[in-house]
Amino acid sequence: MATKAGDNTKFLLDEKDIPTKWYNIQADFKTPLPPPLHPGTGQPIGPQDLAPLFPMELIKQEVSQERWIEIPDAIRDVYRLWRPTPLYRARRLEKALDTPARIYYKYEGVSPAGSHKPNTAVAQAYYNKKEKVARLTTETGAGQWGSALAIACSFFGLQCKVYMVKVSYQQKPYRRVLMETYGAQVVASPSADTQSGKKVLEADPNSPGSLGIAISEAVEDAATREDTKYSLGSVLNHVLMHQTVVGLEVRKQLEKADAEADILVGCIGGGSNFAGFSFPFLADKLAGKAKKLRVVAVEPSACPSLTKGKYVYDFGDTVGLTPLVKMYTLGHTFIPPSLHAGGLRYHGMAPLICKLYDEKVIEAIAVPQVATFHAAVQFARAEGILPAPEAAHAVRGVIDEALRCKNEGKRKTIVFNLCGHGHLDLSAYEAFLAGKLQDYEYPAEKVQEALKHLPKVKA
């Protein structure tokens, strides 16, 4: 008996199917993104303001209004090490949930870093090398991004220094070892290596650190050296655009599966994996097609930037060195609790995603830590893949949607991005299995306190 495409469990593409262009969602916005502002003057920034931090090609991509940006052959050649990544039908999870929903997941954990992050790390290292930059600095929360940039720098012969959020540096030592194995120098942030780090340590010698603080350190390091540029793993427009290779592949794979998505789900911290997965689908929604498609972002209730933040201009870092961008923010002085999903501990959100959320093109929910790990373990026992704690938030969202389908008797197709594996996050699972993890709902009064320190921006 012949099997139909929909009967398969995995849907694979050939190397020739690796996208040749990145999709730039800015081309399809009806109104432009609010411009970033200079932290000193409050005026819109120009290319010259960003030149100390980024190579000119990335600055051009940041502001480009072209729908498609060509992917250089040298980048696609590196992508071939792990792309195209597989799309799976989660049949065993469907059975475990006894749901009529059909669940598919894109698995980005097959990359050398174990996550989606190399999609932009490779591109950024390439453009920096092309402009004869010798050294890159960056920050990392859980270590996924730091690992990706360390690998990319090793591919293109660049030095790499990573400021790793101190709580993650302590919780995830093997991420540090991986980065060092690829040749990166890794320090715990806040550190004594920068003025920004010293300032934080003077105020709080026991600071657990935050992505905002680590960004301040990495930006300061890059801005004070001629041979160095700064590299960011999320939030910025060009970073999100590089990740669209994920969603572009998913579109082809769903065609192979003879399936059409009703609901897209992704975890969200700074926004890179969620954007890369969903933007190619949102192109149709922005064009007035796919009106019934729901796109759901899932964030931790301990760091709820979209669901509890304010849509205003704020700094991307803690000290106030970066441009001001309009985003949903909890306030740049916000120090998140030491939850295990380190990659989602960011006070703000990518401006592109914030605009989509503000215009109600996408939805957002916040989920607690313990329920998230319950979902991760259920997924691992059904499908065999251990999700990264960040990706587990998407799993939680998917399970809840699938159970809703069960209660309502609806056969929806749910697709999500399993953006990384949790093999180097086993300390988090150890704590969960031992009953040591606790939920943390960020108090509204603490959010209000952080929001008091927002910069004053003229309308």
Summarised one tens digit per residue, pLDDT across range 213-229 is 898 999 999 999 999 99
Rounded CA-CA distance 73/77 in Å is 6
DSSP category for residue 36: P
Question: 116-139 pLDDT, tens per residue?
Answer: 999 999 999 999 999 999 999 999
CB 281 within 8 A of CB 315: no
Give helix 426-433 / helix 369-383 axis angle, nearest 10°: 110
Share the mean pLDDT of the chain.
92
Q: E strand or H helix at 185, and its extent?
A: strand 185-189
For residue 59, is it left (φ>0), alpha (ψ between -120 and 50) or beta? Answer: alpha
Strand partners, 421: 387
Rounded CA-CA distance 303/310 in Å is 13
Is pLDDT larger for residue 321 or for residue 400? 400
What confidence tier does 82 reach under pLDDT thresholds 50, 70, 90?
very high
For the domain 22-71+117-237, what is the CATH code? 3.40.50.1100
Q: Do domains 22-71+117-237 and 83-114+243-451 have the same CATH topology?
A: yes
Q: Please state, in angstroms and as integers, the Cα–Cα distance from residue 117 to each residue in 14, 78, 140, 239, 357, following that order.
A: 21, 13, 11, 10, 23
Three-state SS for 263?
strand
Rounded CA-CA distance 407/97 in Å is 11
Overall average pLDDT of the 63-88 stretch: 98
Whether 155 has a pLDDT exceeding 80, the answer reads yes
Overall average pLDDT of the 255-281 stretch: 96
Q: Residues 6 or more apart from 289 whose CB is under 8 A from it?
A: none
Q: Please state, in angstroms and as integers, the Cα–Cα distance from residue 208 to each residue in 92, 189, 300, 457, following that order.
A: 39, 8, 18, 30
CB 226 within 8 A of CB 198: no
Write the DSSP assignment of 66-106 as a string of letters.
-SEEEPPHHHHHHHTTTPSPPEEE-HHHHHHHT-S-EEEEE
Closest by Cα among 209, 252, 356, 339 to 17: 252
Q: Please state, in angstroms and as integers, the Cα–Cα distance from residue 381 to each residue in 7, 300, 375, 387, 400, following that order.
A: 22, 23, 10, 11, 17
Cα radius of gyration rounded to whole Å, the chain: 21
Whether 331 has a pLDDT exceeding 50, the answer reads yes
Q: What is the pLDDT of residue 320?
A: 74
* Token pair 């301040």: residue: 216
Q: What is the pLDDT of residue 459?
A: 58
Record: fold of 83-114+243-451: Rossmann fold (3.40.50)
Question: 90-126 pLDDT, tens per residue?
Answer: 999 999 999 999 999 999 999 999 999 999 999 999 9
Domain-by-domain residue ranges, the chain? Answer: 22-71+117-237, 83-114+243-451
Which range scores top for mean pLDDT: 45-49, 205-209, 416-420? 416-420
* Token pair 């030095």: residue: 159
**Percentage of the chain exceeding pLDDT 70:** 95
What confidence tier does 345 reach under pLDDT thresholds 50, 70, 90?
low
Q: What is the pLDDT of residue 1?
A: 35
Closest by Cα among 39, 42, 33, 43 to 64: 33
Give helix 56-63 / helix 118-130 axis angle, nearest 10°: 130
Closest by Cα among 104, 92, 84, 89 to 262: 104
Name the least confident of 41-45, 49-53, 445-449.
445-449
Rounded CA-CA distance 276/98 in Å is 30
Rounded CA-CA distance 55/75 in Å is 16
Whether 342 has a pLDDT exceeding 90, the answer reads no
Rounded CA-CA distance 315/7 in Å is 49
Rounded CA-CA distance 175/181 in Å is 10
Q: What is the pLDDT of residue 2?
A: 39
Name the least confident of 56-70, 98-112, 297-311, 401-415.
297-311
Q: Report the length, in residues, of the chain.
A: 459
